[in-house]
A = this chain, B = another copy of it.
Amino acid sequence: MNREALKQQIFQKGSYLCVGLDTDVRKLPASVRYEKDPIFAFNRRIIDATAEFCIAYKPNLAFYESLGAAGWESLARTMEYIPKHIFTIADAKRGDIGNTSALYARTFFEQYQFDAVTVAPYMGSDSVQPFLHYTNKWVVLLALTSNQGSADFQQLPIMPEGLPLYRVVMERAMTWASPEQLMFVVGATQAHHLASIRNLAPQHFLLVPGYGAQGGDLHAVSRAGLNSDGGLIVNASRTILYASEGNDFDTAAGRQAQHIAAEMRHYLELYAR
């Protein structure tokens, strides 16, 4: 999916919500637990309930991998089921030497037909390049993540000016790819850094996890991060998936997504310019 289509979806729906499909087999309601493919049965009902309120789905690969071969079949079914006009992100945080990254790119972009994949920057340019060889596919590069450990290395001051590592990562990565192919991960818990990040990368989309269960503030994120294309994809996972433990999990998820989208519509009107 290209940038224009993503932008259109955001303004048509009045939403920049991404639903994180961190589907945890241990948290499935009884009503899907005995289906032939419980993960897919759960995801299908979540997708049916949320598709009109979100613009992206982001399966977290760890949840599928932890189920072995069956998990990858659930992922394939889920990807087939997601409506084609909705953006899809493989939250995989891959990154390896060139020939290996090329295989990961083939897996996520060709085999599973994702629009985007999250990539870890530590191994540098040639670990990211293979993901950029695809048209209308996206690298979502880790910049400043939502977890506590983001302070350990991402914020280390680099000589000579003392820029934090994540800013050097962003600056270099912007020389590798345009805003048509490259997004950055910036955690919602890092809202106080978002204005300066938006300054550094005025045009790039930012994928913002950490809203909801991890405690990020949607208003602060939106005020600092929205641009004239929208420019934000804000992810919520647990808040939506597990809004109810009962068989009404899907209607509860839909209600939650609708609620977030309504707030987003308001912020789009205020700040998307």
Residues of A within 8 A of B (CB): 22, 60, 62-63, 65-66, 68-70, 72-73, 76, 91, 93-98, 100-101, 103-104, 106-107, 111, 120-128, 142, 145-154, 156-159, 162, 165, 168-169, 172, 214
User: 20 new A-B pairs (CB below 8 Å) besides A95-B120, A128-B149?
Assistant: A62-B94, A62-B96, A62-B100, A65-B103, A65-B107, A66-B107, A69-B69, A69-B70, A93-B96, A97-B145, A97-B147, A120-B122, A124-B147, A124-B148, A124-B154, A126-B148, A153-B168, A153-B169, A156-B158, A158-B158
Is B93's CB under 8 angstroms from A94's CB?
yes
8 sampled A-B residue pairs with Cβ under 8 A:
A62-B107, A65-B107, A69-B69, A122-B153, A123-B142, A153-B169, A157-B158, A158-B159
**Residues of the B chain whose Cβ atoms lie less than 8 Å from the Cβ of A152:** 121, 124-125, 172
- Check if A68 sits within 8 Å of B62, measured CB to CB: no
User: How many copies of this chain does the complex contain?
Assistant: 2
